[in-house]
Amino acid sequence: MGYSPMALLLFGSLLIVFGLLAACLLLIAPLGILEITPGIGLWLLFPVFSIGGYFLLTLTPRFAKLRLLAWFLSSLLLLLAAAAAAELMLYASTLMQPTGSTLILWYVLVIAGGLGIVATGAFDLKKLIPKLRRSKPEPPPPPPAPVSAKPKH
């Protein structure tokens, strides 16, 4: 019994989105916007879903064509890390007061930043986006063949 590449693509993408959603919930918990008390499950689901979904995407046979999607999803991880850093900076400057511990933000910063750097670093942007490719200079023409000089008698 075989597997369906489309199922891997859909399930892997869905897992990554769930992982990103878990990270967003972790990010907004200290803000006090929503009454969230993140449990250990949410802490574990963020990296497990993100890594598991990315792994499923890499198992897709046509992963080369999905690189732009995977690069985009990996870039979202870096965006989450930047949001965690910005939130930490606001708390450090006392412009905002956290409603709980900022350990959650450090966790999101380290995990999302690390995963995002590793995942986006795996891609060559010049291969992902053809316009970024430099045009290769044409090779110089081959030198003319040597002319054999036979003395005339």
> Do the domain assignments include residue 100?
yes
Calculate helix-pair angle for 5-28, 103-121, nearest 10 degrees. Answer: 150
For 23-75, write each residue's pLDDT tens digit.
999 998 888 787 878 888 889 999 999 989 888 887 777 666 677 777 888 88
Structural domain for 117, as ranges: 5-134
> Do the domain assignments include residue 152?
no
Q: Are 72 and 66 in contact (CB under 8 A)?
A: no
> Do the domain assignments include residue 153?
no
> Do the domain assignments include residue 18?
yes
What is the tally of structural domains in the chain? Answer: 1
pTM of the full predicted structure? Answer: 0.71
For 99-115, write each residue's pLDDT tens digit.
777 899 999 999 999 98
